[in-house]
Chain A
């Protein structure tokens, strides 16, 4: 079954600390993987899109990794800020369709 599982469900960290969010998927055949940030009460905003051949991709303090062999991705946030408080959603696209499969997200709270 094509699924995207994210962990942890929620995470609390102190401002300035680093954190890593995990995404495991069983989607096949694989095309690409995206990470979105969704602030409370807002729509998701794209952080990165990674294809099969990309292992690491950065966007400012956000670094995504992809291991297509183990079907795992992570999103690392460096030197967290209060504005990083949001839900982070992992999305995988099947290569044979235009279909996107969304994870349920990790809710991150950054406290001062």
Chain B
């Protein structure tokens, strides 16, 4: 019963490097989300995908790109990492959309940019 799986769990990058965070869900959910969590702040939405084939910006999309590869997978890419992107990233999915349906989160990916 995997739910939402994120990889990698930990990553250290140098400024300017690129990387992709992977997310997969096995609950047949339509909607998927990427959030970041920083100390002293609530989770903030980076990008979301309401359904396969669609993606939209959230509150803090700058410096990120996403791909909804298929119904199961939603990846987050940092093209040129900056220290301000040091954070814990959470992928989430929902059957009905985050507003009405329950959100299921992954375990998080802890990224440090030096």
Query: A49 interface residue, CB < 8 Å from B?
Result: yes
Contact residues of B between 8 and 66, Cβ < 8 Å to A: 40-45, 50
Nearest neighbor of A95 in chain B, beta-carbon distance? B99
A97: contacting residue among B40, B42, B44, B99, CB under 8 A: B99
Q: Which of A88-108 contact B (CB under 8 A)?
A: 89, 91, 93-94, 97-105
Chain B residues whose C-beta falls within 8 Å of the C-beta of A34 in the assembled complex: 103
> Quick check: A98 and B99 within 8 Å, CB to CB?
yes
Contacts of B50 in A (CB 8 A): 98
The docked-state distance in angstroms from the alpha carbon of A94 to that of B100 is 10
**A46 CA to B103 CA, complexed, in Å:** 7
CA distance A100 to B92 in the complex (A): 13
Q: Does A112 contact B (CB under 8 A)?
A: no
CA gap between A16 and B7 in the complex, in Å: 37
Instruction: Report Cα–Cα, A74/B50, bound state, in Å.
Output: 31
Interface size class of A (residues with CB under 8 A): 20 to 34
Q: Please name the residue on chain B nearest to A103 by beta carbon.
A: B42
| Bound-state Cα–Cα, A70 to B42, Å | 22
Which of chain A's residues has its CB closest to B58's CB?
A: A99
Give the docked Cα–Cα distance between A41 and B99 (Å). 25
**B105 contacts the other chain (Cβ, under 8 Å)?**
yes
B98 beta carbon closer than 8 Å to chain A: yes
Return the chain B residue nearest A93 by Cβ: B99
Q: Is B102 an interface residue (CB 8 A)?
A: yes
Q: Are B42 and A102 in contact (CB under 8 A)?
A: yes
> Chain A residues with Cβ under 8 A from B106's Cβ?
43
Say if the beta carbon of B81 comes within 8 Å of chain A: no
A99: chain B residues at CB < 8 Å are 45, 99
Residue pair B42, A101 in contact (C-beta under 8 Å): yes
Instruction: Give the contacting residue for A4; candidates B42, B107, B108; CB below 8 A.
Output: B42
Cα–Cα distance between A94 and B42 once the two chains are bound (Å): 16
Q: Which residues of A contact B (CB under 8 A)?
A: 4, 31-32, 34, 41-46, 49, 89, 91, 93-94, 97-105
